[in-house]
Amino acid sequence: MFWHNLKYNLMFLFKNKNLIFWTFAFPIIMATLFNLAFSDIEKNEQLNKFNIAIVDNTEYQNDEVLKTTFQKLEKDIFDIEYTNIEKAKELLEEKEIVGYLEKKENNINININKNGIEETIFKYVVDEIMIINSVSKDLINDEIASNNQINYEEIYQRVLNKINEEIKLNDTSPSNLSYTMIEYYTLIAMTCLYGGIIGMTSTNNMLANMSKKGSRVAVSPIKKSKLLLSSTIASYIVEIIGVALLFLYTIFVIGVDYGDKIFPVILIALIGSLAGLTFGIAIATLIKKNETTKVGIIISITMICSFLSGMMGITMKYIVDKNFRILNLINPTSMITDGLYSLYYYPTMERYWFNIISLLIFSTVMILVSLVELRRQKYDSI
Amino acid sequence: MTVFKYFFKVMKEYKWTIVLYTVLLVGFAGFNLQTSDNSTNFMASKPDILVIDNDNSKLSKNLESYLKENANLKELENNEEKINDALFYRDVSLIIEIPKGYSNGIINNDKKDIVIKSTGDKEAEYGKMLLERYLKISNVYEDIKNEDLIINKINKQLESSVQVTIKSKLNTTELDKMAFFYNFANYSLLAGCVFVISTVLNSFKTKEIKKRTVVSSYNYKKYNSNLFKAGTIFGIVLWLLYLLISVILLGSSMITLHGLLFAINSFVFMICATQIAFLMGNLINNKEALNSVVNIIALGSSFLCGAFVPMQFLPDSVLKIAHILPSYWFIKNNEFIKELEVINVQTLEPYITNIIIIIIFILIIQIVTNIISKKKRKFD
Amino acid sequence: MKKVIEVKNLTKKYKELKAVNGLSFDVYENEILGLLGPNGSGKSTTINCLLSLLNFDEGKIEILGKEMTPDLYEIKRKIGVVFQEVAVFDELTVYENIDYFCGLYIENKEKRKKYVKDALQLVKLEEFLNFKPKQLSGGLLRRLNIACGIAHKPEIIFLDEPTVAVDPQSRNNILDGIKKLRKDGATIIYTTHYMEEVELICDRIIILDKGKVIAEGTKEELKELTGIEEKVTIEINDLNESHIEEIYKLPNVKTVEYEGEKLVITYGKGKNNFSKLLDYLKKEEIYYNKIYSERPTLNDVFLELTGKELRD
């Protein structure tokens, strides 16, 4: 009887087009959209060359330091247009350039539109030139004070040497810093929770107050617990197939990086699906409304959870973690996302296990709640 | 009036779902705005830096105060995991750890390297440049061997800086926020309108009820236009709600010409969203399938057209595809308003063009809806 | 009598299948016309064509002297339809449903209020005003479905199998309602495959099969077509061939059939057929359990005309 029910449950679930769409196709479509939207973001974060203008007047021509520095920087940082003041103003207005530099009455001036990182770098470079000038002057003054022999050439050279000396920094930046990965992790988490719809559908079929089919089941001479178990297993199988497809798609088509530990990833996928499944069963037993409403509730809760774990803006998860941690401690989507994140980013496993245990607790609570409710049920109205 | 009235009666049956959904969508937008600082802006003029001072000497404190002037120094609990999370999520772009014995090292010719962790992005690179500048100057004067004197010299040199004139008089942070909030409207308005209107419409368009309607003496065009009016009223309510939230959250900056432009733009887009909802309500006969459709339309267009991720970060190929979606023109217009300095008839030309394009979309969708509706009037 | 509907040579094809094949008939004012035929004989298709819900391939349909089109709202106003499927909003209550559909015809609020009340009374749903359709039993739901179709007091009413899967109580209620509507002046076109209902309420009957009219007339006229006057059924345990042959030779006997301990004898015409049969059985000392005589049914008519049962 167990296998019989399992078989028919699987058949029934796979033939439900709408259900299959939610669990299988929808996340894959979303993953594709993410991929389209995010493919350039991280590339864009590196510094690109940008346009500036320099007012090419005699004062500028006479300032050797300024001239040579910009000539040197033209290779890496700036695309420079040498022009007159009117043209420079016009370019700025049309936002063709980030800003322009003008040397007038011994003062260097920068004109920009707004504050921004490129404007800041422009300013930084000019500051740097001025500082070198200032440092040289200072050293010259010191030399004058200590001995009367002044070798300008030598001092200037010394300053330049000091300034150009490689600064030694101990860079301990972690690898695996690609934060758009979070977007895919929330998607996996969302799919796990949507799996709740599968659990809900097959549980509904077993409940006499939810469907005529349920009434039929209720009057059959089979133990309800046995039926529930087999239908739950059937839903779990369907859900895992959906999640597995999404994993394969994100790994092989999109190239999402899940770190290098494969078994923990599989484990969290299995337990995450379990959490989604039990969530769906709990909704099916607790909420005494029609199926459309139940689906609506599952989707709404999943959307809130996904939002809080960063689906509509990656930093949301961090902000919630930092300021309203309790929200994400009870949020299964966040547990799954965080588990995958810790596998990707952290070399140690403590955080991963914390999330796994949280998910197990969540699932247990959902199962207990459903069981209590199921035992209590003697329908007031069918 | 019957059809009009009963549109809302049917809607009343879904009131809790609708209230939940609406609160959720508008809430998302508000919450998103509230929590967005420069971390969601992707770019900031000052890099976010975390300084961990293990030395606590005069020299290390001087370095810290120099960084404080040129960057946003973040305060974080000194907890390895929290710091690593902050780096990953770009709460800080650069972590600078001043080692113990840094000051003594300089005095005693036994320099200790400063430890950094970086995200490798623009901000981090700039932060590193700032740090290097300081260290270079510090190197120049390291032979002095007197903490106070070194500090004195370094600080004097750092004083020289170029004079900067900022041309734009726009309050960019406020405008950024407004554009950010109204870009999110693409998701909220679309999802809200499509979900609610097509759910209700679906009841009116089930095969059996439609048969009854078609054989009745109620003018079919009038029938459709009444449904349309009712749907539009819901759209307007949703839009007003969104507008209200924006005024609450953004305050006086919404009560400006810029705010008005954002409001008009989103109004036109809301009409477009209701049209899309009507198209979907006529096309899709299955209430459950609607959920998927709503999500794909709302989330899909939001990702492709830059509602969540700023347009300038989207690949060109994606933006080219996005041209065929009304959302693109709506968001493009928000971005335009954000940068708009002088508001007059000439400068508003691109704004009006974008609005006209959205209106063309509205008309096209309306025509398609009418054709489909007419086709479905007869049964096979 | 005034012609209300005129159908000429109506043909509707679904690919190769001719669902309606050159159908012609008229409907007269204030009659109840029964369209009778087995499942798939083209009854619903015909009605849907009449209402211009369906495009048809050939033929002409005139209602109240006008050719029917989808935009002929003045005519549509005078028509009420009760479809086979229950067509109501699950979201609205019984009252709201009737009010909504009535509102598609009647703008005036006061008038509508009265009409909705009348409709509720007609189908006896007054006690269920604020129930949602999902809370109604099958029969009550059917009654709601009818109320929604006729609340605006139409002159012409189409009822497409309104009693399918309905309990006897609701069925009687529905049939009474239909009779009352006719009394109030409506013309009714009634399709069904329950011949008992047709016999009970229809003035005139059209029998359809495979999209064609195979017979038309009052029930008496139709029954005459069979040439049968009386039908006697007897339950007898054993009967041999010679008995059957002798019974066949009795006066007026048309056919004799003996199958499964049931003897069915039909008579063409005549009087005292029944007593003559009883005399014979007594004489031959044949014992029987049950014996009854009936008039021929429309099923017999259908059987006679097509060689098959109306209901399979």
* Confidence band of A149 (pLDDT split at 50, 70, 90): low
Same domain, A331 and A372: yes
Within 161-220 of B, beta carbons closer than 8 Å to A belong to 161-168, 170, 172, 187
A313 contacts on B by Cβ (under 8 Å): 32, 36, 40, 308
Chain B partners (3+ C-beta pairs within 8 A): A, C
pLDDT exceeds cutoff 80 at C299: no
Count of domains for chain A = 2
B207 contacts on C by Cβ (under 8 Å): 85
Q: Is residue A19 part of a domain?
A: no
Q: What is the pLDDT of residue A338?
A: 94
Q: Which residues, at least 6 apart from C309, have a Cβ–Cβ distance to it below 8 Å?
A: C299, C302, C303
Chain B interface disruption, residue of A95, A117, A160, A180, most B CBs within 10 A = A117
Q: What is the mean pLDDT of chain C?
A: 86
pLDDT digits (tens, 9 = 90+) for C226-243: 777 788 888 887 778 888
Strands (E), C194-284: 204-209, 212-217, 230-236, 253-259, 262-267
In a 10 Å sphere around its CB, with 0-12 CB exposed, 13-18 middle and 19+ buried, how is residue A48 labelled?
A: exposed
pLDDT exceeds cutoff 50 at C261: yes
pLDDT exceeds cutoff 50 at C169: yes
Contact indicator for C36, C206 with CB cutoff of 8 Å: yes
Q: What is the pLDDT of residue A135?
A: 80
Using CA coordinates, name the residue in chain B closest to A31. Answer: B300
Q: Is residue A131 part of a domain?
A: yes
* A165:B299 CB<8 A: no
* A173:B118 CB<8 A: yes
Least confident of A220-229, A316-325, C80-89, C134-143: A220-229
Element (H, E) at A78: strand A78-83
Q: What is the residue-wise DSSP string for B103-170? A: HHHHHTT-PPPEEEEE--SHHHHHHHHHHHHHHHHHHHTGGG--HHHHHHHHHHHHT---EEEE---S
| CATH number of the domain to which A74 belongs | 3.40.190
Q: What are the structure tokens assigned to A41, written together?
A: 């973001």
Using CA coordinates, name the residue in chain C closest to B378. Answer: C53
Within 139-158 of A, beta carbons closer than 8 Å to B belong to 139
For residues A320 and A330, give the distance between their C-alpha atoms in angstroms, rounded to a whole number. Answer: 12
For residues A364 and C206, give the distance between their C-alpha atoms in angstroms, rounded to a whole number. Answer: 67
**B277 to chain A, closest Cα gap in Å:** 18
Same domain, B313 and B204: yes
Same domain, B198 and B342: yes
Q: Is residue B165 part of a domain?
A: no
* A108:B85 CB<8 A: no
A119 contacts on B by Cβ (under 8 Å): 45
The amino acid occupying position A332 is P
Chain B interface disruption, residue of C86, C93, C95, C100, most B CBs within 10 A = C100
Using CA coordinates, name the residue in chain B closest to A306. Answer: B28
Same domain, A229 and A319: yes
Say which residue the tokens 């770098």 belong to: A121
Same domain, B200 and B343: yes
Contact indicator for A117, B43 with CB cutoff of 8 Å: yes
Task: Decide: helix, strand or coil at residue C281.
Answer: helix
For residues B278 and B213, give the distance between their C-alpha atoms in angstroms, rounded to a whole number. Answer: 17
Q: What is the mean pLDDT of residues A196-213?
A: 78
> Which residue ranges does chain C devote to CATH 3.30.70.980?
228-295
Q: What is the pLDDT of residue C117?
A: 93
Smallest Cβ–Cβ distance between B219 and the set C48, C73, C83 belongs to: C73
Same domain, A142 and A196: no
The interaxial angle of helices A332-345 and B80-88, nearest 10 deg, is 90
User: What does the DSSP 8-state code read for residue C163?
Assistant: T
* B2:C103 CB<8 A: yes
Contact indicator for A78, A118 with CB cutoff of 8 Å: no
Same domain, A75 and A210: no
User: What does the DSSP 8-state code read for residue A167?
Assistant: P
* A173:B187 CB<8 A: no
pLDDT digits (tens, 9 = 90+) for A164-182: 677 788 888 888 888 888 8
Interface of B with C (CB under 8 A): 1-3, 6, 9-10, 13-14, 203, 206-209, 211-220, 223, 377-380
* B133:A128 CB<8 A: yes
* B9:C53 CB<8 A: no
Same domain, B191 and B314: yes
Q: What is the pLDDT of residue C7?
A: 92
Q: Is residue B380 part of a domain?
A: no
Per-residue burial over A106-141, b = 16 or more CB atoms within 10 Å of its CB, e = otherwise: eebbbbbbbbbbbbbbbbbbbbbbbbbbbbbebbbe
Same domain, A323 and A254: yes
Q: What is the pLDDT of residue C147?
A: 92
Using CA coordinates, name the residue in chain B closest to C150. Answer: B216
Count of domains for chain B = 2
Q: What is the 3-state secondary structure (H, E, C) of B163-191?
A: EEEECCCCCHHHHHHHHHHHHHHHHHHHH
Q: What is the pLDDT of residue A377?
A: 60
Q: Is residue A382 part of a domain?
A: no
| CATH number of the domain to which B49 belongs | 3.40.1710.10
For residues C88 and C70, give the distance between their C-alpha atoms in angstroms, rounded to a whole number. Answer: 22
Same domain, A139 and A189: no
Ranges of residues in chain B whose predicted pLDDT is under 50:
38-44
pLDDT digits (tens, 9 = 90+) for B80-116: 888 888 888 888 889 999 998 888 888 887 888 889 9
**B1 touches A at CB < 8 Å:** no
Q: What is the pLDDT of residue C245?
A: 84
Same domain, A251 and A367: yes
Contact indicator for C61, C68 with CB cutoff of 8 Å: yes
Contact indicator for B216, C101 with CB cutoff of 8 Å: yes
**B330 to chain C, closest Cα gap in Å:** 35
Q: Is residue B250 part of a domain?
A: yes
pLDDT digits (tens, 9 = 90+) for A26-53: 889 888 888 887 777 666 666 677 888 8
Same domain, A187 and A157: no
Same domain, A199 and A72: no
> Which residue ranges does chain C devote to CATH 3.40.50.300?
3-224
Q: Is residue A33 part of a domain?
A: no
Q: Is residue A245 part of a domain?
A: yes
Element (H, E) at C36: strand C32-36
Same domain, A152 and A288: no
pLDDT exceeds cutoff 60 at A6: yes
Smallest Cβ–Cβ distance between A18 and the set B113, B288, B315 belongs to: B288
Q: Is residue A345 part of a domain?
A: yes
pLDDT exceeds cutoff 60 at C88: yes
Task: Decide: helix, strand or coil at residue C58.
Answer: strand
pLDDT exceeds cutoff 90 at C86: no
Give phi and psi for C40, each to the nearest 5.
Answer: 80, 15
Per-residue burial over C255-293, b = 16 or more CB atoms within 10 Å of its CB, e = otherwise: ebebeeeebebbbeeeeebeebbeeebeeeebeeeeeee
Same domain, A244 and A324: yes
Which CATH architecture fits C3-224? 3-Layer(aba) Sandwich (3.40)
The listed range with the strongest mean pLDDT (B223-227, C67-71, C195-199, C294-298) is B223-227
pLDDT digits (tens, 9 = 90+) for C110-150: 999 999 999 999 888 999 989 988 888 888 998 999 999 99
Smallest Cβ–Cβ distance between C73 and the set B206, B217, B380 belongs to: B217
Using CA coordinates, name the residue in chain A closest to B27. Answer: A304
Same domain, B7 and B132: no
* Confidence band of A214 (pLDDT split at 50, 70, 90): low
Q: What are the structure tokens assigned to B248, written together?
A: 């609450």
Q: Is residue B135 part of a domain?
A: yes
For residues A3 and C296, give the distance between their C-alpha atoms in angstroms, rounded to a whole number. Answer: 55
Least confident of A152-161, B244-253, C28-37: A152-161
Interface of C with B (CB under 8 A): 48, 51-55, 70-71, 73-79, 81, 83, 85-92, 96, 99-101, 103-105, 107, 148-149
pLDDT digits (tens, 9 = 90+) for A71-123: 877 777 788 888 888 888 888 887 788 888 888 877 888 888 777 777 888 88
* B217:C149 CB<8 A: no
Terminal Cα-to-Cα distance of chain B (whole angstroms): 30
Using CA coordinates, name the residue in chain A closest to B173. Answer: A115
Q: What is the pLDDT of residue A201?
A: 86
Same domain, B57 and B112: yes
pTM beyond 0.90: the answer is: no
In a 10 Å sphere around its CB, with 0-12 CB exposed, 13-18 middle and 19+ buried, how is residue C32 labelled?
A: buried
Sheet holding C32-36, edge to edge: C79-82, C156-160, C187-192, C32-36, C204-209, C212-217
Q: Give the structural domain span for B247.
A: 2-36+171-375
Same domain, B95 and B225: no
Chain C interface disruption, residue of B1, B2, B14, most C CBs within 10 A = B2
For residues C124 and C113, give the distance between their C-alpha atoms in angstroms, rounded to a whole number. Answer: 16
Q: Is residue A13 part of a domain?
A: no
User: Quick one: what percent of chain A has pLDDT higher than 70?
Assistant: 89
Neighbours of A295 (CB within 10 A): 23
Say which residue the tokens 């899309």 belong to: B276
Q: Give the structural domain span for A93.
A: 47-164
| Strand-pair category, C212-217 with C230-236 | unpaired
Q: What is the pLDDT of residue A47?
A: 65
Q: What is the mean pLDDT of residues C34-60?
A: 86
Chain C interface disruption, residue of B16, B209, B222, most C CBs within 10 A = B209
Chain C partners (3+ C-beta pairs within 8 A): B
Strands (E), chain B: 48-53, 72-73, 94-98, 114-118, 163-166
| C270 φ/ψ sector (left φ>0, alpha ψ -120 to 50, else beta) | left
CATH superfamily of C228-295: YebC, transcriptional regulation domain (3.30.70.980)
C107 contacts on B by Cβ (under 8 Å): 1-2
A138 contacts on B by Cβ (under 8 Å): 153, 156-157
Same domain, A66 and A106: yes
Say which residue the tokens 């020299």 belong to: B59
Same domain, B9 and B113: no
Same domain, B344 and B221: yes
